[in-house]
Structure 1
């Protein structure tokens, strides 16, 4: 149930309080409630869902009950060996083992006791597919679609997806839907699928502000919210955690504020921090992500780091040794008509396709366009230390734009005028004209395009080895007639480009915790009653991005551990109080 802070009585008591209503926080609240705890879920923004609601909702859990549907040969032991090779000493091996052990249990437990339902993607390779122990399928789970109408008026609580990721006025589509929509004039099955989607959406718009058929991250959040209400979890939005109160037994109370109202809440079992990390913290962002403008961040606005400040004040500390303090994706940026900023992550729809090339200020390639979005973002920043590479420029020709689109410009090659007028899309009749408009070196761009055209003929990229791994080739174009599905010629005028920036999509550095998600003090002892999961916790991936969903997967696993441990701690406190009362009597 959704409440206001003023509706709670002074010194009201909950067994478990979760701060942050993204995917990890909502899961932690649900796990605690399933175990019988009285739970309060606190969210600082007006929506639940956090960045999970913006995302594809992919959850990386090796060895789940769904893995055998698409890959019977994979094992948790294979996954552990893969992570040891990919991540190594950048994170605690014990924490990775805790994640791998808890992940399958978390999936089974949440599916058996709630509306949350997953399925395995039939083909979704690990990003570091060249590393021994990787798989092409079975570890990446996604939520089943969800009918938002089941939430009634509470549907409005879910953070809407990024508008540029929807079509025809707010209709959500997943990767399967996109394929059908692009193929609807060539396939009867795709035509039927598309007609059903559009008819459903047309009906939705009669009564709802956007489509109620939820997919990807929105579907996961919808299922979590529906399940939380079924378990009578109290939800507070637009509410800030102001203070943690500590006694000899650890954190036993908090102070919350909402619209000028303040309440002290007693907590029996524990407080679970799942507020999304430090990314929008004013001071810490500058120190941990130097040179990265906040306007390039495509994440939801709630991860301001204020809850981490409170935990640090209680003795917590940040982890060390990660490859990067954040996870990354190349993004393009555009001002919307309402004055807000659209930040579009370039995950897979354009940059890895044939007929695309990425260059720096000198017009030169400096990376493999088909590398994972995380490594792409890191490569941009590293290259920029030597040669101006932020922004970088994603360049294609008329054919590439027509087939794949370019960022916020949809495939088809039509409706370009607004994008050109506001400068998001740059057009040139020749490569020289495009270079002049972008302010980059024309000779360098011409040489880069000439090289990629030669590589398109041979299928071999000697400069950056584009299209040499299963992951890279999966993000190319399987229908391409060339020898390499990732490389194609650029030559049909006019030519186009968008500017790319490194956008932080989530925190990798967070608070140090143990195998039960208990936050550790500087002496490595747990701070009683204080837990972390999601991006508030130091990533078990050590700033490496080995596969799809490696933030939501550990988020779910440690939400399971934190929620159940805090619920058990609350039960122990109740039993201890009852025993003490009986003895006194």
Structure 2
């Protein structure tokens, strides 16, 4: 078997792995980035790309009043003893440095929004802005043919056969016939996309997670970083100095690749592992995941074989979102995560089979899905049902059904969307207790008129209200009446969006053995590493922020390792 040598090997071509390889190159190493699927970007490419890092220069740009101690207090209050204080400190100290270096020395760029609240507003230290960063859109024409390496966005999050849109574009597209400014914005988008489709296999205006991945790839290419896709790591080579390389199989050829400075694991976590998934996720086992297909956990088995261990004490082993599912024309399954577009809007409620609400619909997606599991213990709540009327559907859509109220026939035909002339008829079609559903809707209509939800506090925090609709002049932007027939519903299931439990590391991202000593030359970042959030989801971007930060830390430590 042929033997080769590189400075560093990074396993996993998602956001964490790409960042680790990039930081290694910035530190003067010649890394090899290995991805076992055909595409780069992992779940990052399918995500919003939000990156939660307190203390960057972007906070001041939006007038955020924040500091490191305030951020530390927030995590202490929200996460508590579900994660290590030392690990959280390492994240908070190094996160701004990681972002600053990316923006100073690479193509990666972020921006903060004027209002982007932490999810858990109820605890001391929460902020309304400045910590959550989003990638600046990227013109992928700079990549040329390399664009084909990036995992495309989830089709259901695009329009017109692949045109990406973000939260700024949607209002313009919906108002293009009523506003000259919106018309001009929409025409620019549509014209650009039309030209793209003539010259490229997909749209080249990359947004959100795709923009971050595109910027990382452009930066890696600028530094000549070697990338191998469709390459499988079959073994970790272990010697006197610790992990010394890998056995790599690609295109039917196996070879040994030694690593002078070590190996970084960034494979995305355990979630698609054939046995760990069932062992580590709650029952009933989630049937659907909106995450990318690469996180098989195979490298975890190799690491555990060398003495690595999983962390303990997290509130949950995974992060969650409610999802709806629909079979595509090509036979594949679309798994649509319900993050913010519908659940918290006025005139939309979630009920279980008993016809009862069980959660504040405007809460974070993670807490919503956890509430599904908790409620299911006493009443069938998996799946639950997102219910609205014709006005709610027209204004906000439901899941894959777009706002506007048109083009419903395919969704009704395949059962993704259920329609009925009355609430009683809707309940009968869905198997919901009709009397309880009518009672629940009547109660919610009363809450909407009063502007207060005494049951679950919907609309009581800035996070809720941001995801409501303040344009209608309602007493509460998250509460609206349900009463205009016909009535509609879709089914929601809990879907795991990433691992919260991973391999235990120290503050240098070195993987630790059972004796609490580092396994020499082995690092982990991203969802391969035990989350510093401890299975709590306190804010947007709390997976990507630590992922980029510990990629920075791991690469820096590896560069200094002989």
Q: What TM-score do you get using the length of structure 2 for normalisation?
A: 0.99
* Cα deviation digits, residues 166-198 of structure 1 (max 9, x gap): 001100011111122122223222211111010
1:491 to 483, 490, 495: 483
Partner of 1:582: none
Question: Contact 1:352–1:475 at 8 Å: present in 2 too?
Answer: yes
Partner of 2:118: 126
Displacement after TM superposition at 1:77 (Å): 1.2
Partner of 1:399: 391
Matches of 2:287 and 2:105, distance apart in 1? 40
Displacement after TM superposition at 1:440 (Å): 1.2
- What RMSD, in angstroms, separates the aligned Cα atoms of the two structures? 1.0
Partner of 2:494: 502
* Cα deviation digits, residues 344-395 of structure 1 (max 9, x gap): 0111111100000100011111111011000001000111111110000000
Question: Contact 1:292–1:502 at 8 Å: present in 2 too?
Answer: no
Partner of 1:514: 506
Partner of 2:470: 478
1:36 counterpart = 2:28: yes
Instruction: Map 1:242-391 onto structure 2 (within 5 A).
Output: 242-293=234-285, 295-391=287-383
Displacement after TM superposition at 1:260 (Å): 2.3
Matches of 1:99 and 1:188, distance apart in 2? 45
Structure 1 runs of 4+ aligned residues shifted over 6 Å read none
Partner of 1:163: 155
Question: Contact 1:280–1:294 at 8 Å: present in 2 too?
Answer: no
Displacement after TM superposition at 1:232 (Å): 1.1
SS state of the match for residue 385, structure 2?
strand
Question: Structure 1's 489 and 72: CA in aligned 2 closer, same or farther, altered over 3 A?
Answer: closer
Partner of 1:536: 528
2:544 to 543, 552, 555: 552
Question: Contact 1:24–1:534 at 8 Å: present in 2 too?
Answer: yes
Matches of 1:561 and 1:64, distance apart in 2? 17
Instruction: Map 1:441-480 onto structure 2 (within 5 A).
Output: 441-480=433-472
Question: Contact 2:55–2:68 at 8 Å: present in 1 too?
Answer: yes
SS state of the match for residue 357, structure 1?
strand
Displacement after TM superposition at 1:295 (Å): 4.1
What number of residue pairs does the alignment pair up?
A: 562
Matches of 1:384 and 1:257, distance apart in 2? 44
1:25 counterpart = 2:17: yes
Matches of 2:179 and 2:503, distance apart in 1? 51
Displacement after TM superposition at 1:113 (Å): 1.1
1:175 counterpart = 2:167: yes
1:66 counterpart = 2:58: yes
1:240 counterpart = 2:232: yes
Matches of 1:156 and 1:253, distance apart in 2? 29
Question: Contact 2:9–2:245 at 8 Å: present in 1 too?
Answer: no
SS state of the match for residue 480, structure 2?
coil
Question: Structure 1's 348 and 72: CA in aligned 2 closer, same or farther, altered over 3 A?
Answer: closer
Question: Contact 2:64–2:129 at 8 Å: present in 1 too?
Answer: no
Question: Contact 1:130–1:470 at 8 Å: present in 2 too?
Answer: no
Partner of 1:583: none
1:193 to 177, 181, 185: 185
Displacement after TM superposition at 1:92 (Å): 0.1
1:205 counterpart = 2:192: no
Partner of 1:422: 414
Matches of 1:135 and 1:72, distance apart in 2? 8
Q: Which runs of 5+ in 1 are unaligned?
A: 1-8, 574-585
1:150 counterpart = 2:114: no
Q: What TM-score do you get using the length of structure 1 for normalisation?
A: 0.95
1:138 counterpart = 2:130: yes
Matches of 1:358 and 1:384, distance apart in 2? 13
Matches of 1:469 and 1:20, distance apart in 2? 38
1:51 counterpart = 2:51: no
More moved, 477-486 vs 345-354: 477-486
Displacement after TM superposition at 1:66 (Å): 1.2
1:435 to 406, 422, 427: 427
More moved, 497-506 vs 187-196: 187-196
Q: Which runs of 5+ in 2 are unaligned?
A: none
Question: Structure 1's 425 and 129: CA in aligned 2 closer, same or farther, altered over 3 A?
Answer: same
Matches of 1:208 and 1:475, distance apart in 2? 34
1:184 counterpart = 2:176: yes
Matches of 1:567 and 1:232, distance apart in 2? 17
Question: Contact 1:214–1:222 at 8 Å: present in 2 too?
Answer: yes
Matches of 1:165 and 1:482, distance apart in 2? 28
1:111 to 75, 79, 103: 103
Matches of 1:13 and 1:122, distance apart in 2? 47
* Cα deviation digits, residues 136-186 of structure 1 (max 9, x gap): 100011111111111111100000000000001100011111122122223
Question: Structure 1's 480 and 81: CA in aligned 2 closer, same or farther, altered over 3 A?
Answer: same
Matches of 1:350 and 1:88, distance apart in 2? 31
SS state of the match for residue 68, structure 1?
helix
Question: Structure 1's 154 and 470: CA in aligned 2 closer, same or farther, altered over 3 A?
Answer: same
Matches of 2:246 and 2:96, distance apart in 1? 32
